[in-house]
Amino acid sequence: MANQMIDYSRGDKAAIWVVVVASLVSLVFVVGLLLHIIINKIIRCWPLERLTTATPYYFINLLFFDMLMAIGSVLNAHWVRAGKVEVGGLCTAQAVIKQMGNVGVAWYEPW
């Protein structure tokens, strides 16, 4: 396969930076919430037997997959700085991360 590239225009770069910043904010809040849940679990020693439904587990999984989506979108910063997208290892890794996040979040959406 030939090495393919997509060049960004100035408007493309500005729009993608907005997505990167929003994803970074999302990532910070999701990681903070996950850490808060984990720290409270450790400090308060919540017994697992108290959980009568699977809702907390669904919520934690949803946060995890949302974190993957945010990580995948934050990786766009590399492409904006380079001014182009090149097919390669980072592009493939980003695609895998974003796909896992998208499918994971869709899986846990209420029906």
Domain count, the chain: 1
Q: What is the pTM of this model?
A: 0.82
List the pLDDT tens digit at each of the 111 positions of the chain: 456 777 888 888 999 999 999 999 999 999 999 999 888 877 776 665 666 777 778 888 899 999 999 999 999 999 999 888 888 899 999 999 999 999 998 887 665
Torsions phi, psi for 19 (to 5 deg)? -65, -40
Helix (H, G, I), strand (E, B) or coil at 9: coil
Whole-number Å distance between alpha carbons of 39 and 25: 21
> Residue 50 has what pLDDT?
65
Its domain, for residue 72, covers 5-107
Whole-number Å distance between alpha carbons of 111 and 60: 18
